[in-house]
Amino acid sequence: MAKEIEITMENIKSTKIDSPEIVDESTQQNASRIETKGVKVWYDDFMAIKGIDMVIKPNTITAFIGPSGCGKSTFLRLFNRMNDYVEGFKMEGKIKIDGDNIYKKKVNVEQLRKEIGMVFQKPNPFPKSIFDNVAYGLQIQGIKDKKLINERVEKALKQADLWEEVKDNLKKSALALSGGQQQRLCIARTLAVQPSILLMDEPTSALDPISTAKIEELIHHLKEEYTIIIVTHNMQQASRISDYTAFFYLGELIEYDKTRKIFTNPEKKQTENYITGRFG
């Protein structure tokens, strides 16, 4: 497969990407929820992200695609400062969320993570009851009002389309649920603390097709209330559920545009090669 790649470092380096429909910040403050400028990331001496500018609009689903190791997860984890935990991590550039630079010194990272929820590849429920899993974030926040907790747990389970399946068994261990149910529980756990941006790192890659379809449908509904970014290796998934698609390669943003454009008429040969399965 690799020999079919028609990419050279020269044409990648000369590729200058403009985010789609970037609007004048001064007149359209609300048009972007997330904006990155000149973002570079290193793990020790290794440069994993090589200068990325991107604007993500509110209430959209953006898919990050690209071959393994191209920097999708690294870039995604910048938005809730998850990389801060990684030894050797260093970044340059600006990331603004709702106009605020989230890497300023004064930023309250705990508050940021409340606003920006994350769902991981493998469902990772705590070894606690279904109810306690969803209530966990609220309790951590110091919320003690039982009625409020009950309401939020029910709402989050309904939003995650799991309520009907578990409402009579809330005390049951979360570990007894199926993989697909566990992932919806993890989504409910994230939603319970009422974030407004959802980061999803390959949320369905460990699931069967039926569970995957359920989660895709759920993501589609969540768009009404949330801005969603999803890393996926599944091209069909990206084309089914996202409004915008960003194609990464070797730490660079090669092409970023409306999903329909990326999948029907990409500007760059590299993008075409990737989405048609000619490398990756």
Ligand X SMILES: Nc1ncnc2c1ncn2[C@@H]1O[C@H](COP(=O)(O)OP(=O)(O)OP(=O)(O)O)[C@@H](O)[C@H]1O
Q: How far is the CB of 233 from ligand X (least distance, A)?
A: 6
Q: How far apart are CA 47 and CA 49, in angstroms?
A: 6
Comparing CB distances to ligand X, the nearer of 69 and 99 is: 69
80 lies in the binding site for ligand X (CB under 6 A): no
Among 19, 32, 62, 74, binds ligand X (CB under 6 A): 74
Does 69 bind ligand X (CB under 6 A)? Our answer is yes
Q: Which residue has the tokens 């050279």?
A: 8
Of residues 43 and 136, the one with the C-beta less far from ligand X: 43
Spell out the residues 6+ positions from residue 187 whose beta carbon is closer than 8 angstroms to its own: 119, 159, 160, 203, 215, 218
71 vs 117 by CB, closer to ligand X:
71
Single-letter code of the amino acid located at 277: G
Rounded distance, CA 29 to CA 23, Å?
A: 9
Stretch that binds ligand X, among 11-19, 61-69, 211-219, 263-271 (CB under 6 A): 61-69
Closest by Cα among 269, 191, 200, 195 to 237:
200
User: What minimum distance in Å lies between the beta carbon of 158 and ligand X?
Assistant: 31
- Examine residue 73 and tell whether it contacts ligand X (CB under 6 A): yes
The DSSP bridge partners found for residue 198 are: 117, 228
- Number of shown-chain residues binding ligand X (CB under 6 A): 12
Span interacting with ligand X, options 70-78, 174-182, 203-211, 258-266, rule CB under 6 A: 70-78
φ, ψ of residue 199 to 5 degrees: the values are -105, 130
Which helix (H) or strand (E) segment holds residue 96: the answer is: strand 89-97
Note whether 130 and 170 are within 8 A (CB). yes
Nearer to ligand X, 69 or 277 (CB): 69
What is the distance between the alpha carbons of residues 229 and 147, in angstroms, rounded to a whole number? 32
Contact with ligand X (CB under 6 A): which of 6, 11, 38, 86? 86
CB atoms within 10 A of CB 207: 21
Binding to ligand X, residues 24-53 (CB under 6 A): 43, 46, 48
Least distance (Å) from ligand X to the CB of residue 48? Answer: 4
68 binds ligand X (CB under 6 A): yes
Judged by CB under 6 A, the residue of 33, 57, 72, 152 near ligand X is 72
Q: Contact positions toward ligand X, by CB under 6 A?
A: 43, 46, 48, 66, 68-74, 86
